[in-house]
Amino acid sequence: MTHYLPCLLAAAFVTAPLPAQSGISIGVRAGTLGLGAEAAVLVSDHLALRAGAHTFSGSFSRTESDVAYSVDYRFKGLSAVVDLFPSARGTFHVSGGIISAPAELDGIGQPTGGTYTFNGRDYTAAEVGTVRGDVRWPGTLPYVGIGWGTPASRGGGIGFVFDLGVGIGAPTLGLTASSAVPGSTLAADVEAERRDIQDDIDRYLKVYPVLSLGLALRF
């Protein structure tokens, strides 16, 4: 579904009837979806369509409690949003739409000593080996939010844009240990630990927070 977002928004931009004072904007944003660009069009005094793309990546590492950690993170995706303005050609808006998977996380933990607990059972560093984990969100998430900013021309110029909302959907956790031979007690304990953590994720991380700030050039 992600691949169709640009086509759907482009079609909407081309076919939507514009008000007498049309409003189109292009801009840049930064936030919890990464860094990106966005285009918006005012299709009536109370309604606008937005489409954006974002990307960002990085990594960090640290050593704590006899474990060397390394984490890679990537933000890359698309968004398609409808903004409803309660006040005609106003700036405050209520939004709904979809965003593609907002982020990917991959981590490696290398124990250097001590003991480690999986599913209530203790293992030495040598028995565990390297632990790998990953976090993945669904391919597309429904989005709801509020914000300030509009493509309404107002004589053109640069305007401030701000949006706050959530993508609805919990991520999925992957967890493995290099020394966990399939069918072994360690493999079963690692999987049981993964399921316990996933249960907590499903219970407490049902949404992805979306916060973005930016500037838009209005025509």
User: Per-residue pLDDT tens for 138-196?
Assistant: 999 999 999 999 988 666 689 999 999 999 999 999 999 999 999 999 999 999 999 99
Q: What is the mean pLDDT of residues 116-144?
A: 95
Res. 11: pLDDT tops 80: no
* 128 neighbors 113 (Cβ within 8 angstroms): no
Helix (H) or strand (E) segment spanning residue 57? strand 47-64
Domains (range + CATH), the chain:
2-218 (2.40.160.170)
pLDDT of 65 reads: 79
Model pLDDT for residues 68-82, shown as the tens digit of each residue: 999 999 999 999 999
* 69 neighbors 117 (Cβ within 8 angstroms): no
Q: 72, 80, 88: which is closest to 134 by C-alpha?
A: 72
Res. 16: pLDDT tops 70: no
Q: pLDDT-derived band of residue 12, with 50, 70 and 90 as boundaries?
A: very low
How long is the chain?
Answer: 219
Q: pLDDT-derived band of residue 115, with 50, 70 and 90 as boundaries?
A: confident
Model pLDDT for residues 27-45, shown as the tens digit of each residue: 999 999 999 999 999 999 9
DSSP reduced 3-state for 215: strand
**Cα 78 to Cα 86: distance, rounded to the nearest angstrom:** 26
Instruction: Tell how strand 92-100 and strand 207-218 pair up.
Output: unpaired
Q: 207 Cβ partners below 8 Å, 6+ apart?
A: 166, 167, 168, 169
**Cα 127 to Cα 123: distance, rounded to the nearest angstrom:** 6
Secondary structure letter of residue 103 according to DSSP: -
Helix (H) or strand (E) segment spanning residue 109? strand 104-111
Res. 3: pLDDT tops 80: no
Percent of the chain with pLDDT over 70: 88
Q: 41, 52, 49, 51: which is closest to 84 by C-alpha?
A: 49
Percent of the chain with pLDDT over 90: 78
Q: pLDDT-derived band of residue 14, with 50, 70 and 90 as boundaries?
A: very low
Average pLDDT, the chain: 89
